[in-house]
Amino acid sequence: MPADLIRLVRHGEVFNPEGILYGRIPGFHLSELGHAMAAAAAESLKGHPVTALYASPLQRAQESAKPWAEQFGLAVMTEERIIEPTNWFEGTSVRRAIRSPKAWVQLRNPLKPSWGEPYRSVEARMLAAIGDAWQQADGGEVVMVSHQMPIVMVARSVKDLRLSHNPSNRRCTLSSITTLARDGDRFVEVDYQEPAQQLLASAIDSGAV
């Protein structure tokens, strides 16, 4: 029986004192505040019929999935397709990198974008993973812990918005929950929540690609 709802959950705050773009670099884990955010997200759906739990393979997503596993008694299934996109600027900050002429060519096409995995590629793999999770579920709700840009790609896609966008205007805060439902042959967004909203004022969110 397919799932009733798909919950796309962003990870909590990452320990990133240097403020770099961490992308897929291993070893970036949740901060103490990030763990609290992840717990708040899981607590917000206490009592809901969550039947499956997926997470990106990156450490911050796996750690953010742990409270969900504990809350609902589920194993975390690692889903490679909901990982952070690749990005040329990994390991530095855009502000520092663009001072180098080597970086300028990477910024030649912001609509693709030229500095990382194309938006269309992110959209396609995310929707494929979501579709499989929806189909393979035992009814109820499926939680998928992912990253800001992939979740934004899905949110824009299901609303038929252009995938190219200004990253500073993304609506996908730390530990936010974007909820999808199936409507005929496509997914639609039916809800957006920020269960860690009270913690956001103290959070640093500078590493998303």
Query: Which residues of the chain fall below pLDDT 50?
Result: none
CA neighbours closer than 13 Å in the CB half-sphere of residue 164: 7
Question: d(Cα 178, Cα 201) in Å, to the nearest integer?
Answer: 20
Q: By C-alpha distance, which of 38, 23, 185 is closest to 97?
A: 23
Question: In this predicted model, what pLDDT tens digit does every residue of 35-61 receive, in sequence order?
Answer: 999 999 999 999 999 999 999 999 999
pLDDT score of 122: 98
pLDDT score of 18: 84
Question: d(Cα 92, Cα 17) in Å, to the nearest integer?
Answer: 12
Contact 153, 21 (CB under 8 A): no
Question: d(Cα 166, Cα 109) in Å, to the nearest integer?
Answer: 13
Question: In this predicted model, what pLDDT tens digit does every residue of 128-152 receive, in sequence order?
Answer: 999 999 999 999 999 999 999 999 9
- Residues 6 or more apart whose Cβ sits within 8 Å of residue 201: none
In this structure, are strands 186-193 and 177-183 parallel, antiparallel, or unpaired?
Answer: antiparallel
Contact 14, 30 (CB under 8 A): yes
Q: At how many degrees (to 10) do helices 148-158 and 119-136 cross? A: 80
Domain boundaries, the chain: 5-86+118-200
What's the predicted TM-score (pTM) here? 0.94
Please state which CATH class domain 5-86+118-200 belongs to: alpha beta
Contact 189, 161 (CB under 8 A): no
- Tokens 């038929």: give the residue: 160
Whether the CA torsion 87, 91, 95, 101 is positive or negative: it is: negative
- Tokens 């909590």: give the residue: 12
Question: d(Cα 155, Cα 6) in Å, to the nearest integer?
Answer: 12
